[in-house]
Amino acid sequence: MQNTSFSLLLSYQKQYPIFVKQAASYIREYLNSTPEFAIVLGSGLGEIAQQIDIIETIPYKEIPNFPVTSIPSHSGELVIGTLENRLVIGLKGRRHFYEGATLPLNIGILQTVFAVHVMAELGIPNYFVTNAAGGLNGKYKVGDLMLIKSHINFLPNPLLGAHYPFTRVDDGNHTHRFQPMNEAYNQDFIKKFLKENKKFSKNIHQGTYLAVTGPTYETEAECIAFRDGLKADAVGMSTTPEVIVARNRGMNVIGLSCITNKIAKDGTNATNHEEVKSILESNDVKERITGSVVNFFKSLND
């Protein structure tokens, strides 16, 4: 039985590009043209999907090979629609590494980034990633937003292991084995987002996002080390592997964190998942998130 299970896992690893293409082919049947953006809606950020004029909704479980999520605040649906006249795909929830970390042969991280590969396979040029994060920077307040200007990745790198024969969205060439990660987050998108959201300027920052595996929240010592030693501004459990793959596939990336809890000066991170959800459900935070994203998409029409 163990040998059979190992063979199945080895087959998954080898056939990974085929599985990606099968999922993309299924979704493509619902599309009349190529979406301009894929928008990943992190924990509690599904409210953004309500701003999309939805044409189709596809549960993840109906898409061939598509990893489902086990987190209650991630509904596990793919929506196709328009946002300010731009065709987009919204991913309502993500597969975190900690959900599949028990799988050997790097499969846990391959499942984590599966959706990104599918979006690239569809030819989508832009990837908008969102998440909920803890605020390490003492100037941040609960409910603030942080545009990610760079990141620190403490999750497994999704480009480890086999180098698959994927092609890039931007030039059609094969992906790079050694992917540069300087300016991973598109500077033009960041400038445009800030310019169009002066209304929320007091609550929007630029900073460095640090990703850990979770699902534990960080100790006092870890928080102090991340903030004072590594100069990170926010910490979370996702995003960076997705961005690595998005850039490797030639996509432009913009990243937005919602600060759901503030980590004290002494490193105390007294929070839980329910507290994080309650912040994201507050009307002020909902308005700030959805309003700023809509304003960004409006500016793309100029």
CATH at 170: 3.40.50.1580
pLDDT at res. 269: 85
3-state secondary structure of 3: helix
**How many percent of the chain have pLDDT more than 70?**
96
Q: What is the mean pLDDT of the chain?
A: 93
Q: How many CB atoms lie within 10 A of CB 190?
A: 17
pTM of this structure? 0.95
Q: Which of 249, 244, 134 is nearest to 185 (CA)?
A: 244
Domain interval for residue 218: 2-299
Q: For residue 74, what pLDDT band results from cuts at 50, 70 and 90?
A: low
Give the model's pLDDT for residue 282: 82
Number of domains observed in the structure of the chain = 1
Per-residue burial over 90-102, b = 16 or more CB atoms within 10 Å of its CB, e = otherwise: bbbbbbbbbbbbe
Q: What is the pLDDT of residue 73?
A: 61
Q: Which active-site residues does the annotation give?
A: 43, 74, 96, 98-99, 132, 237-238, 261, 273
3-state secondary structure of 207: strand
Which region among 143-147, 186-190, 268-272 has the lowest average model confidence (pLDDT)? 268-272
CA angle 37, 123, 98 (to 5 degrees): 70
Q: Give the number of other Cβ atoms within 10 Å of residue 69's Cβ.
A: 17
* Averaged pLDDT for residues 81-96: 95
Q: What is the pLDDT of residues 159-173, one digit of tens each?
A: 999 999 999 999 999
The pLDDT, as a whole number, for residue 233 is: 98
The mean pLDDT of 116-128, rounded to a whole number, is 98
Q: pLDDT (tens digit, 9 = 90+) per residue, 96-114?
A: 999 999 988 899 999 999 9
Place of tokens 């931007």: 170
